[in-house]
Structure 1
């Protein structure tokens, strides 16, 4: 999964769960990072935020303390076995971690190469519009992004990214298409 995809999924989870995502967010990578700012954007009150975030932190800590109490003897066995292998175990773990990051870097570079397209600055868009250039402008920002910055370019059509496939048949083929996003 790519970071952009993960961020959008996290926003969708927050939209479904609302402030409760502060509680379960401690257990879900990505959600714990976006839940606090999303709470602020959606107007969660300070006391509600404090209560839910504290409850989430307590549940998270209690979960791992409980797991440690239940499985402490197994953890000691694993550490004892790792100590026997010593340097070899450390090198093996480091090699696996480095291999994973190299793989993720390679996949990310391929993904970015596949997305390369012409990007226009706001000044370039303005110049083209002033010269009468035919351009079909589609604003695909998420509702949260639109609320944070509630401005749409002149002559732009507002189509949520989730509905872009339904709208595709209406896009004229005789003009350039400009997708506006963050």
Structure 2
């Protein structure tokens, strides 16, 4: 569907189009909703019609959030780990996002729609952490209303500009499509370069679970930093002898530890992303013996003969 067809469709049934578009985007599909909201706002004839479109957008967003909330409540950390694995950049580990969510509480749901990536991750985290359903729905609805309302309002106020832009894009559809493809290719290329750069940065000595078990039985005993998110720790319990740490508060976690003593970082992230990040950060701070655990928490459980 081109821009002109989308405009005609929105004029006929803006409520249904916006509802479906927002629902698909918030479920996680790569379907941008902001351009549709801008266009719908510019085409709204009366404030009452704008209100109906806003209500449809909020309802669609809350329904998608409730789906993710239910999945998080039912499957817990497995949903979050799955979302993390789908990320192009494994360094954006869900445990770091989860820590910020716990710190900000309900207010994080209000701003989630404005933070790329966080919009999809926040609802299942809320479910996994057993946030009250009533509070979740209110916060998700307020956030959706702000997000969709700003886009619709901008389209309403700048209707002449939006319409002129649509006409220009329609006249130069081929060029516009080429620019869009080039921009998408540049974005994808940048993300893949980030992934490549992360893998190069991750080329540092690791410690295997068997080696860690032996080291814990000897001297000097290493400090194990557990970088898993609070959801997984709550589900499975703490690791005996380990110290729970957050990426944003590593200084606090290792403040009393000698810089020459061994440290092992452990996470439950794809490609040991969080553990590698923490290890590099600590080495930059002058800690001389820091190694990430190869395979993370799952490998640790396997070495102990337990199921993840």
1:93 matches 2:177:
no
Counterpart in 2 of 1:114? 201
Using structure 2 for the length normalisation, give the TM-score.
0.48
1:170 to 2:257 alignment: yes
- Where does residue 161 of structure 2 map in the other structure? 74
1:32 paired residue number? 119
- Give distance in 2, aligned partners of 1:17 and 1:8: 14
Deviations along 1:83-112, whole A, 9 cap, x unmatched? 333323321221222122212211321122
Q: 1:160 to 1:24 in 2, by over 3 A?
A: closer
Alpha-carbon offset, residue 36 of structure 1: 1.6
CA contact under 8 A between 2:111 and 2:143: conserved in structure 1?
A: yes
For residues 85-164 of structure 1, what are the structure 2 equivalents within 5 Å?
Answer: 85-126=172-213, 128-129=214-215, 132=218, 135-141=221-227, 144=230, 145-154=232-241, 156-164=242-250
Pair 1:66–1:111, CA change in 2 (3 A)? same
Q: Secondary structure at the match of 1:35?
A: helix
Evaluate the alpha carbon distance shift between residue 4 and residue 91 of structure 1 in structure 2; reply closer, same or farther with a 3 A threshold: same
* Residues in 1 aligned to 2:101 and 2:161: alpha-carbon distance in whole angstroms: 36
Aligned residues: 178
2:133 corresponds in structure 1 to 46
- Look up the SS of the partner of 2:223 in the other structure: strand
Q: Which residues in structure 2 correspond to 1:3-42 (within 5 Å)?
A: 4-5=91-92, 7=94, 10-42=97-129
Residue aligned with 2:222, SS: strand
Tell me, what secondary structure is at the counterpart of 1:151?
A: coil
List gaps (5 residues or longer) in structure 1: none
Greater relative CO (CA pairs within 8 A, separation 6+): 2
When structure 1 is superposed on structure 2, of 43-52 and 140-149 the one drifting more is 140-149
- CA distance in structure 1 between the aligned counterparts of 2:165 and 2:137, rounded to whole angstroms: 38
Gaps of 5+ in 2: 1-88, 269-308
How far the C-alpha of 1:142 sits from its partner, in A, is: 5.5
Q: Distance in 2 between matches of 1:74 and 1:27?
A: 23
1:3 Cα deviation (Å)? 5.5
CA RMSD, Structure 1 to Structure 2 (Å): 3.2
Is residue 179 of structure 1 aligned with residue 265 of structure 2?
yes
